[in-house]
């Protein structure tokens, strides 16, 4: 039976609030990567890591590590990300880093240094909220899944990823040195970002697999014209066409189990009240748990977009590289079950509809993702909240799992 000391969830929450003050927006949280605000979070975390007994270092892309000690060739890695979406909550990402830190601090205090190397990691640009074509940048670099093309993708101000790195003091020519080939396994704690745990009254979610994600860019061109003089039946209104496509998304997604399709980014040109819209560009985010479903849903969406050509519109579509669905390690899943039982916590198996750094690790090493509940399932919004008791339970679960992986034989 493992003895894991109590962990103060309120202290974790206070630190989450401290980190959430570092934002590029005045009254709302947005922490894109390679900004002074992100550097400030790294500086703050480095100090906390050192106090917790974790030796800090930053890699070539800006991921921050905290080394807990231990001998041997293979490292147990635990962590999450520190960048946020626009108008974010304080928990997505940072909760995993701070619960990991609290877990390691408790284990170091109770049991001394680990038997094998253990490191905590705070990764960047998971959300792609600054560089949408380079989401999961930190975990991609660590697992050797970046491409040189990504360095030339641009943010909304036209700044390339390479230039943003340079401005933040990192050398884009060195990204390959961030690659780790010595990992034994990867663990991540995250808020669920959905309502299931809260709804069922279950304390922890053991994630069996993480969704695959596709993005389809659709550009529809109609005919811009005067809004007052062009009769309704003689228009080629690109927004009407785009809206028709958006209205089909629920029925197309429903064809596949646990699939979703969302048009969350929509641009209308020329964007004047008195002009019939001539062009719309939308990004459709679509997700499914199985690769074959993701592929098939992508085809259906593409077909539905091109069907608008039959009504006289010009349609062009482009798929971004898919982020593949990731089954997680069943052995680590069983270990998590045992730890939850030992600690007296209720747990259920589930799949993740959100993307996570964990899915990039899962292709290479045994990987596990643990969910704690978040209030009303809200996330990617300022209302995001996880209770101190849930943060504490999550951190103790990480501690129990890490203890079994790195402290005992
Ligand atoms: C990341 O949070 C995603 O699921 O898009
Ligand atoms: Mn997120
Ligand atoms: Mn996240």
For tokens 């990504």, the residue is: 150
Give the whole-angstrom CA distance, residue 233 versus residue 227.
12
Exposed, middle or buried by CB within 10 Å (0-12, 13-18, 19+), for 125?
buried
Instruction: Give which of 51, 127, 124 is closest to 87, Cα–Cα.
Output: 127
Rounded distance from Cα 315 to ligand 3 centre (Å): 33
For tokens 């990691």, the residue is: 121
Query: DSSP code of 399?
Result: H
Q: Which ligand sits nearest to residue 85's alpha carbon?
A: 2
**273, two tokens:** 């009240």
pLDDT at 409: 74
Give the whole-angstrom CA distance, residue 301 versus residue 321.
15
Cβ atoms within 10 A of the Cβ of 128, count? 21
Beta bridge partners of 75: 183
Give the whole-angstrom CA distance, residue 350 versus residue 210.
9
Query: DSSP code of 175?
Result: G
Determine phi and psi for 342, rounding to 5 degrees. Answer: -60, -35
Exposed, middle or buried by CB within 10 Å (0-12, 13-18, 19+), for 223?
middle
- Indicate which residue's Cα is closest to atom 5 of ligand 1: 355
**pLDDT of 173 strictly over 90:** yes
Ligand 1 interacting residues, C-beta cut-off 6 A: 127, 354-355
CA atoms within 13 A on the CB side of 127: 20
Degrees (nearest 5) of the Cα angle 16, 17, 21?
Answer: 115
Rounded distance from Cα 135 to ligand 1 centre (Å): 9
- Which atom of ligand 1 is closest in space to residue 287's alpha carbon? 4
pLDDT at 148: 87
Beta bridge partners of 263: 284
Enumerate domains of the chain plus CATH numbers. 9-211+325-407 (3.40.630.10), 212-323 (3.30.70.360)
Cβ atoms within 10 A of the Cβ of 404, count? 16
Q: What is the mean pLDDT of residues 387-396?
A: 98
- Which atom of ligand 1 is closest in space to residue 193's alpha carbon? 2
**pLDDT of 62 strictly over 80:** yes
Tell me whether the omega of the peptide bond preceding residue 270 falls within 30 degrees of 0, making it cis: yes
3-state secondary structure of 373: coil
Contact criterion met (CB below 8 Å) for 203 and 345: yes
Which range, of 43-47, 148-152, 167-171, 222-226, averages the lowest pLDDT? 148-152
Per-residue pLDDT band at 1 (split at 50, 70, 90) = low
Strand order of the sheet with strand 260-269?
260-269, 279-288, 212-221, 314-319
Q: Which ligand sits nearest to residue 381's alpha carbon?
A: 2
Pairing mode, if any, of strands 367-372 and 212-221? unpaired
pLDDT at 387: 98
Mutation test residue for ligand 1: of 127, 284, 359, the one with most atoms within 8 Å of CB: 127
- pTM, 2 dp: 0.91
**pLDDT of 314 strictly over 70:** yes
% of the chain surpassing 70 pLDDT: 100
- Which atom of ligand 1 is closest in space to residue 356's alpha carbon? 1
Mean pLDDT of the chain: 97
Per-residue pLDDT band at 70 (split at 50, 70, 90) = confident
- Which atom of ligand 1 is closest in space to residue 92's alpha carbon? 2
How do residues 188-247 score in pLDDT, each as one tens digit?
999 999 999 999 999 999 999 999 999 999 999 999 999 999 999 999 999 999 999 999
**pLDDT of 329 strictly over 90:** yes
Residue 157 CA to its chain's centroid (Å):
23
How do residues 128-162 score in pLDDT, each as one tens digit?
999 988 999 999 999 999 988 999 999 999 999 99
Instruction: Give which of 194, 219, 218 is closest to 207, Cα–Cα.
Output: 194
**pLDDT of 346 strictly over 70:** yes
Q: What is the mean pLDDT of residues 369-393?
A: 98
Contact criterion met (CB below 8 Å) for 384 and 29: no
Pairing mode, if any, of strands 75-81 and 118-123? parallel
Q: Kindly calculate the radius of gyration of the chain based on its CA atoms and give it in whole angstroms.
A: 23
pLDDT at 321: 87
Q: What is the mean pLDDT of residues 361-365?
A: 97
Rounded distance from Cα 114 to ligand 2 centre (Å): 31
Give the whole-angstrom CA distance, residue 152 versus residue 161.
6
Instruction: Give which of 389, 405, 13 is closest to 185, Cα–Cα.
Output: 405
């Amino acid at each position: 039976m493992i003895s894991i000391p109590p962990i103060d969830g309120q202290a974790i929450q206070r630190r989450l609030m401290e980190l959430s003050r570092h934002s590029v927006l005045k009254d709302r949280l947005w922490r894109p990567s390679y900004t002074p605000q992100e550097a400030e979070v790294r500086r703050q975390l480095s100090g906390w890591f050192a106090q917790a007994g974790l030796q800090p270092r930053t890699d070539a892309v800006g991921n921050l590590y905290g080394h807990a000690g231990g001998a041997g060739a293979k490292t147990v890695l635990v962590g999450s990300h520190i960048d946020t979406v626009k108008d974010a909550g304080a928990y997505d990402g940072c909760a995993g880093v701070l619960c990991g830190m609290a877990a390691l601090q408790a284990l170091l205090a109770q049991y001394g240094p680990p038997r094998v190397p253990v490191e905590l990691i705070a990764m960047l640009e998971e959300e792609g909220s600054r560089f949408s074509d380079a989401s999961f940048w930190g975990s991609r670099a660590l697992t050797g899944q970046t491409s040189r093309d990504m360095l030339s993708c641009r943010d909304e101000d036209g700044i390339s990823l390479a230039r943003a790195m340079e401005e933040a003091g990192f050398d884009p020519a060195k990204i390959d040195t961030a690659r780790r080939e010595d990992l034994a396994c990867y663990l991540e704690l995250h808020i669920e970002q959905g309502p299931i745990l809260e709804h069922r009254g279950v304390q922890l979610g053991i994630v069996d697999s993480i969704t695959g994600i596709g993005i389809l860019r659709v550009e529809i061109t109609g005919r811009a014209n005067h809004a007052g003089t062009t009769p309704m039946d003689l228009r080629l209104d690109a927004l009407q066409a785009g809206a028709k496509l958006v209205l089909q998304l629920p029925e197309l997604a429903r064809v596949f189990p646990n699939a979703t399709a969302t048009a969350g980014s929509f641009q209308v040109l020329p964007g004047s009240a008195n002009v019939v819209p001539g062009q719309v560009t939308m990004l459709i985010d679509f997700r499914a748990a199985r690769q074959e479903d993701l592929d098939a849903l992508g085809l259906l969406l593409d077909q539905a977009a091109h069907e608008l050509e039959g009504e006289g519109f010009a349609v062009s579509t482009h798929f971004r590289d898919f982020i593949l669905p990731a089954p997680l390690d069943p052995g680590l899943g069983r270990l998590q079950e045992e730890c939850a039982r030992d600690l007296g916590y209720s747990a259920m198996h589930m799949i993740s509809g959100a993307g996570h750094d964990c899915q990039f690790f899962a292709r290479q090493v045994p990987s596990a993702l643990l969910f704690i509940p978040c209030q009303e399932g809200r996330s990617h919004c300022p209302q995001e909240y996880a209770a101190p008791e849930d943060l504490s339970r999550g951190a103790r679960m990480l501690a129990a799992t890490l203890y079994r992986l790195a402290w005992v034989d």
